[in-house]
Amino acid sequence: MDDKNLMENILLLEKGVCDLYMHGTIESSTANVHQAFNTALSDSLNMQDTIYSKMSAKGWYPAEEVEQNKLTSVKMKFGSQN
């Protein structure tokens, strides 16, 4: 397994962990449990951001800019549904 695949796998795992912590935060029954999950979620989101930044710097997670006319079209389409 090369470095890119390893980082992709780590990022996917971290995203899954964030999802679990988010649900734990939302559904916690006490303030202490809520705070514990919320802290873990924050730490995991920071780790996810670090992993993404390292992948992006190496060109392993390319992002595309969206044309303004496409953004405007989507805004108009979904903005009229209010």
| pLDDT score recorded for residue 18 | 97
Distances (CA, A) of 15 to 35, 37, 43, 68, 78: 20, 15, 12, 29, 28
Identify the band that residue 4 occupies on the pLDDT scale cut at 50, 70 and 90.
Answer: very high
Per-residue pLDDT tens over the stretch 14-56: 999 999 999 999 999 999 999 999 999 999 999 999 999 999 9
Nearest to 78 by CA among 63, 68, 70: 70
Distances (CA, A) of 8 to 15, 17, 40, 61: 11, 14, 21, 9
H or E element in which residue 4 lies = helix 3-27
Residue 60 burial class via C-beta count within 10 angstroms: exposed 0-12, middle 13-18, buried 19 and up: middle
pLDDT, mean of residues 58-75: 90
Type of residue numbered 79:
G
